[in-house]
A = this chain, B = another copy of it.
């Protein structure tokens, strides 16, 4: 059994802890949170001891690896400390909101052979994976276009938004990674445009956008379109379409059940979408832990590595520049 120390016991950390506890070859070895109540709740559910500091967790001999699910601005520090302590890391995204900090962290851990997996969970979704497989096994022929629709069910609280780094770094970041996963070739150019339609006054105040379209191109000309909104009345809209010379693969939305209803003025009315990411990506979160356990146990390369975390942020920076300058930005202008 792989003993995993859980740093951060908020909503995401607690969910990961439950999944680790249910994994047949892993267990929660220790937990820590800046809020002792949060840590205690996870301790109760998993039987793992609460520790007084992240450092204690990293030092514990039965902690074989760590999960970092703390506040974003502590990710890079903890990641550096974990590697220094010789522990493999599964780090929630983003590594940091600042590319400069991400690059400093990269320098600090350069040369390590320890697994460092970044938490882009959507790569583990069975439907999205099947799209990726259809690209990579040649089913779709030469890839032409990737369209990713990603709309959240509702606007997060203003306080969250203020600290989020903006829609591009907070929300689109997942789509930048998904685009790289499906495109199978690095984007070299990025265009973005944003609107303030869901909460115009708030977005104006924050200098942020709630409705967004991004277009990217790779060197060979493959196109990716990312379509985002901070609110969707019908729930958590998560679709991925790949189109190539031999066909099209679409990962469709998911619902909690498949009862469809027909009545006097409609037919085949389906249930609302699975809401929110913990439900929608339930299998993906399980598979993410499984992949990490497997990488640590068997010395396999991680499925989503440090550079994947960095590149998504580079694309977000390029998109931000495009959004301000109203032009296609070359990724090489960023980093």
Residues in chain A within 8 A of chain B (CB atoms):
22, 24, 45, 125-131, 134, 139, 141-142, 144-145, 147, 149, 151, 189, 191, 193, 195-198, 211, 213, 215, 217, 220-223, 225, 227, 229, 231-235, 237, 243, 245-273, 326-328
Is A144's CB under 8 angstroms from B211's CB?
yes
Q: How far is the CB of A211 from chain B (nearest CB, A)?
A: 5
Q: Which residues of B contact A256 (CB under 8 A)?
A: 126
Copies in the complex: 4
Is A243's CB under 8 angstroms from B229's CB?
yes
Q: How far is the CB of A213 from chain B (nearest CB, A)?
A: 5
From A24, A141, A327, residue with most partner B Cβ within 10 Å: A327
CB contact under 8 A between A248 and B262, given known A144-B229, A233-B141 = yes
Q: How far is the CB of A155 from chain B (nearest CB, A)?
A: 11
Q: Which residues of B contact A227 (CB under 8 A)?
A: 145, 147, 225
Q: How far is the CB of A253 from chain B (nearest CB, A)?
A: 7
Residue of chain B at shortest CB distance from A237: B248
Q: Which residues of B contact A191 (CB under 8 A)?
A: 191, 193, 215, 328
Closest 7 interchain pairs by CB? A195-B221, A126-B257, A130-B259, A234-B262, A327-B327, A247-B263, A127-B257
In-complex Cβ contact of A271 among B130, B149, B245, B255 (8 A): B130
Is A248's CB under 8 angstroms from B271's CB?
no
Q: How far is the CB of A14 from chain B (nearest CB, A)?
A: 12
What are 17 pairs between A and B in contact, CB < 8 Å?
A: A127-B259, A130-B259, A131-B259, A134-B261, A144-B229, A145-B213, A198-B245, A225-B227, A233-B264, A234-B264, A235-B262, A249-B259, A250-B261, A250-B262, A255-B267, A326-B328, A327-B327
In-complex Cβ contact of A197 among B189, B222, B269, B326 (8 A): B222
